């Protein structure tokens, strides 16, 4: 089916099972169907953070906030990553 929520739910299931590779593949499928599907973007950012891909995770949170700027958790996650990256550059 071409319904983003189906793939997002499966991505969440894979994530909870510890299979981030399959989860990320489904996240990519969601975003190919609906690029502004912010729950999938949040999932992608979380996976990237877990994998130590902080710069990519920061870009994902920026993308999320471009769609949903009032989301406090996303704001906090972006701030934490920004501070972490700023500290690693000095």
What long-range pairs does 65-70 form, CB within 8 A, spacing at least 24? Answer: 67/36, 67/38, 67/41, 68/38
pLDDT band at 60; cut points 50, 70, 90 = very high
Residue range 63-74, pLDDT digits in tens:
999 999 999 999
Query: Can you give the pTM of this predicted structure?
Result: 0.91
Is residue 90 predicted with pLDDT exceeding 60?
no
Q: Is 43 helix (H, G, I), strand (E, B) or coil?
A: helix
The answer for residues whose C-beta is within 8 angstroms of residue 17's C-beta and 6 or more apart is none
Alpha carbon distance 64, 26 (integer Å):
17
Smallest CA-to-CA distance from 57 within 67, 66, 47 is with 47
């Amino acid at each position: 089916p071409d319904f983003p929520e189906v793939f997002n739910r499966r991505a969440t299931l894979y994530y909870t099972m510890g299979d981030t590779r399959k989860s990320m593949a489904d996240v990519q499928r969601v975003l190919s169907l609906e690029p502004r599907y912010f729950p999938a973007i949040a999932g992608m950012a979380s996976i990237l953070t877990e994998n130590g891909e902080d710069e990519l995770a920061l870009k994902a949170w920026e993308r999320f906030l471009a769609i949903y700027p009032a989301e406090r958790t996303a704001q906090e996650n972006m701030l934490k990553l920004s501070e972490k990256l700023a500290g690693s550059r000095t």
